[in-house]
Chains A and B, each alone.
Chain A
Amino acid sequence: MATTTASVAISSSDLQPGNRLSINASSTLMQTGLTTGLELMEMGKGKLTEASAADALHESLGTADTANWVYICNNATDDTHYIKVGIHETIIGNLGAGDWMWMPWNMSDGDAEINIEAEPTGATIPYEYAIFKSTYTLPAKT
């Protein structure tokens, strides 16, 4: 069984004056809440251009309602360059330059693809991603 561990540390000494913020959390990723670790993953990097509009980073081709995890990092150095991250028609949020995100993804149905879009006009944004999955079916050949 594979073991995948994800940890986060969030800290700030001045966000809440007089109350230093320190959050630490760690979890071991399991297949759909069971005691078996996730055993499928995909990792990569690329460049996203504003001209390409929204692109599917990963199709929802696994079993619906399962445990999956998405890591995306915007490696842009220009503070004005951001990535819109969405699930199908819903924009989850804007990933600014240098930002990363860690999100559960249950592939709720076949129309629950993860999509990304570079902004603003003219932007070319380098990004990295990793997706840890419970199940996945390769796309049919064309």
Chain B
Amino acid sequence: MATTNATISVGSDIMSYPVRINKTMTMKKFQSCHGLEETSGLRTKKFTVTTETVVVEQDEFTSTKACKVYMRNTGSDKAHYFYVAKHASAAAATTDAEVIGKLYGGDWMLIPYLADVNITVASSSTDPVVLEYMVFAE
């Protein structure tokens, strides 16, 4: 059994009082106290087209119910972003795909993933933008 920990820290002065979020989790199998044991490994991919691309194939993690997906837009330019969607398409906000959100330069996400549908991304630019991502699975 492997032990994988993830800690989030959020600090903000939006409110008139300090906002702080600090939480650590140990990634576990579905309804279990045992840790996740598989991973896609850390991957990086450079995009120079705006076409939607599958980066996480559900086939690879079929029927797993406790996956986690980490993604980060490694760029620093806030003008360049990735659409992230749970579908075969992520080309625009108004497509039938269930667009999750956008990762601007430097943004990261860590979400649970029910491996029933692919995860796709689409870059906003033909300028090179690099995505870093990793799947943690049962």
Minimum CB distance partner of A30 in chain B = B78
Residues of A in contact with B, size category:
35 or more
Minimum CB distance partner of B78 in chain A = A33
A22 CB to nearest B CB, Å:
10
Proximity string of chain B (1-45) to chain A, C-beta cutoff 8 Å, 1 when within and 0 when not: 011111111111111000101010111101111001101011000
In the bound complex, residues from chain B placing their C-beta under 8 Å from that of A93 are 67-68, 111-114
A33 B4 Cβ-Cβ under 8 A: no
Quick one: which of B2, B72, B116 contacts A12, CB cutoff 8 A? B2
Given A5-B11, A10-B110, A104-B103: A94 in contact with B84 (beta carbons within 8 A): no
Q: Interface of chain A, helix or strand or loop or mixed?
A: strand
Flag whether A16 is at the interface (Cβ < 8 A).
Answer: yes
A101 B110 Cβ-Cβ under 8 A: yes
Given A41-B19, A96-B66, A106-B93: A90 in contact with B98 (beta carbons within 8 A): yes
Q: Interface of chain B, helix or strand or loop or mixed?
A: strand
The number of residue pairs between A and B whose CB atoms lie closer than 8 Å in the complex comes to 198
A102 B8 Cβ-Cβ under 8 A: yes
A sample of 16 inter-chain contacts (CB < 8 A) reads A3-B12, A8-B9, A10-B7, A27-B107, A33-B102, A34-B78, A41-B14, A67-B101, A69-B101, A91-B114, A92-B100, A93-B112, A96-B66, A96-B112, A104-B102, A106-B83
A residues at B contact (CB < 8 Å): 2-16, 21, 23, 25-30, 33-35, 37-41, 43, 64-65, 67-69, 71, 73, 79-80, 82, 85, 87-106, 108-109, 112, 130, 132
New contact pairs (11) apart from A93-B67, A95-B112, A96-B31, CB-CB < 8 Å? A3-B13, A12-B5, A14-B2, A33-B78, A87-B100, A98-B28, A100-B8, A101-B111, A104-B84, A104-B102, A130-B21
